[in-house]
Amino acid sequence: MSSCRTGTGISSGRTRVGKFELGRTLGEGNFAKVKLARNVETGENVAIKIIDKDKILKHKMVRQIKREISTMKLIRHPNVIRMYEVMASKTKIYIVLEFVTGGELFDKIASKGRLKEDEARKYFQQLICAVDYSHSRGVCHRDLKPENLLLDANGGLKVSDFGLSALPQQLREDGLLHTTCGTPNYVAPEVIHNRGYDGTKADLWSCGVILFVLMAGYLPFEDTNIMALYKKIFKADFTCPPWFSSSAKKLIKRILDPNPATRITFAEVIENDWFKKGYVPPRFEQADVSLDDVDAIFSESADSRNFVVERREEAPMAPMAMNAFELISTSQGLNLSSLFEKQMGLVKRETRFTSKCPANEIISKIEQTATPMGFDVRKNNYKLKLQGEKSGRKGHLSVATEIFEVAPSLCVVELRKSGGDTLEFHKFYKNLSTGLKDVVWKAEPIGEETNGDTATASR
């Protein structure tokens, strides 16, 4: 093998940005890509969100992104992913974030079913506290969903993508947000109506849906038809299961009030008797935070200590090797069973399959199958970019594919939606799988979810 990957997914001598060595892609969207990285000075693993500068300039978002990043740097909450620093090259912005290893909170439900009420309350308390605190700092999330609820090594909740998940959104003169975003099953009715909405009230609705799922093990609003789903959300047409306590039912019904004017507030939730049971307010770290790097990220001066150059070495001519530790890290929550088991009600924006065929044969077969389906295939060694020729519900479907070698006779093929609609990605993957039946050894079911998606990277 001409290259190898460590147990954390970092490959020696590949791509360096300042003091960070970039590893595999964790998530991808229209505006950003998130990569695992390692600080070569300390050995610490971090996540780096990479944003295309041209897109920021094109959408006239410079002032907004500076404000969002400045606010995020000031947030020091134990239940919010920490932002460490910001760097920039001539073409990209690099946001260095805390990397947590406990997987997604919803993996617990996918593998074990619903949580007991006391355990669900504990996570809900952490979620409400984190979201309310961030609101007090002027940041609404606007895209609370399963992918953004992570767990640290101690099992504590960490909300990711605060402020950054909705970078393309902007307030209008009425002080309201006007862009529909988020995962439909978790989105407040006023967001879907697209007549302007209060981000704090919309966030609370999403928190209510999350609490329901934690305690029930399924979504309050679900339908295979998207318009029927919207009607249920507009009417708050849901029923609490009989195992919910009466006080929990009352709170959820007050949160899932379709009228934002009469919906319970965060302050009222925190004073609610059911919420307060066993509640221990978190301790906050008071730290001096410099915003000098935020001001410097759009400076063209190479003298700035925050100006970096992405250094690439010659790409390997063999597929990237993936050892056992790397394989486990691709499975959420370090649980190998989730690699190929269907998960409940989650938006699947990536999937994978294994193959006993040689990497070159897999690439050739993907190209032969995708091209007649109307996809342009661009190859870069053992990575492929599949771009749909026709525009779909959310633009052209784009799929990033990468092949890893687990053993000399076993490859893992990872497919990630990098643009377009999630449901169209599901349909594409089903058709692709049919064409690849001779090379697929074992595939991860992608499901028939109708949750939709957002364009940003979640993790």
**DSSP label of 146:** G
Shared domain for 347 and 374, answered yes or no, is yes
Residue 355 falls inside a structural domain: yes
Q: Please pick, among 54, 107, 132, 143, the residue that the annotation labels catalytic.
A: 143
**257 and 129, same structural domain?**
yes
Question: Does residue 291 form part of some domain?
Answer: no
User: At 249, which amino acid appears?
Assistant: K
At 89, which CATH number? Answer: 3.30.200.20
Tell me: do 129 and 228 sit in the same domain. yes
Predicted TM-score (pTM) of the model is 0.66
CATH of the domain at 249: 1.10.510.10
User: Collapsing DSSP states into helix, strand and coil, what is residue 335?
Assistant: coil
Whether 43 and 117 map to the same domain: the answer is no
49 is in an annotated binding site: yes
CB contact at 8 A, 211 and 264:
no
- Tens digit of each residue's pLDDT, the chain (459 residues): 333 333 344 444 478 888 999 888 877 766 778 888 999 899 899 999 898 888 877 877 777 777 778 777 778 899 999 888 888 888 888 999 999 888 888 877 877 789 999 999 999 999 999 999 988 887 788 788 877 899 988 889 999 876 555 443 444 343 433 344 446 889 899 988 877 778 899 999 999 999 999 999 999 999 888 889 999 999 999 999 999 999 999 999 999 999 999 999 999 999 999 999 999 888 876 666 666 666 666 665 545 566 676 766 555 556 666 555 445 445 544 344 443 434 434 446 778 888 888 888 999 999 999 999 999 999 887 888 999 988 877 778 989 898 888 777 888 898 888 888 877 888 898 889 888 988 888 777 665 443 334 333 333
Say whether both 344 and 401 belong to one domain. Answer: yes
Residue 329 lies in a domain: yes
Is residue 306 a part of any domain in this protein?
Answer: no
Angle at 339 between CA 338 and CA 343, to 5 degrees: 45
Match 């050892």 to its residue by tokens: 323
Q: Which amino acid, one-letter code, is at 351?
A: T
Q: Do 407 and 353 share a structural domain?
A: yes
Whether 127 and 211 map to the same domain: the answer is: yes
Nearest residue to 11 (alpha-carbon basis) of 19, 26, 23? 23
Give the helix/strand (H/E) hosting 111: helix 106-112
Do 110 and 230 share a domain, yes or no?
yes
Asked if 85 and 226 sit in the same domain, the reply is no
297 within some domain = no
As for how many domains the chain has, the answer is 3
In a domain, 287, yes or no: no
Q: Which domain holds residue 251?
A: 106-276
| 143 part of the active site | yes
Of the residues 98, 115, 147, the one at which a domain ends: 98
Looking at 67, 98, 129, the residue that finishes a domain is 98
CATH number for position 403: 3.30.310.80
